[in-house]
Amino acid sequence: LRDKCSQLPGCSSLKEKLEACNERINNTEKTEETCNEELIDFMHCIDVCVSKTIFTLHFAILWTRF
């Protein structure tokens, strides 16, 4: 699910920002920059997407039992 969510337009743009930040940091010897903000934004997007899918599946399974 996380892989699918990371490919959706909203999350994929955040993934690109995170990758660009990581690349900047890896190509700089001395920097105080971190990618915490980009990581948090990307993970939040993934969590929201995954939670919608999980709850939808969970309720669908519950309804089939009744």
Would you give the end-to-end CA distance of the chain in angstroms? 27
For residue 52, what pLDDT is reported? 85
Task: Return all residues near 34 (Cβ < 8 A) that are at least 6 apart.
Answer: 25
Task: Quick: pLDDT tens for 3-60.
Answer: 999 999 999 999 999 999 999 999 998 889 999 999 999 999 999 999 988 877 666 6
Domains and CATH numbers, the chain: 1-65 (1.10.287.20)
In the predicted structure, residue 64 carries a pLDDT above the cut 90: no
Contact 24, 33 (CB under 8 A): yes
Q: pTM of this prediction?
A: 0.79
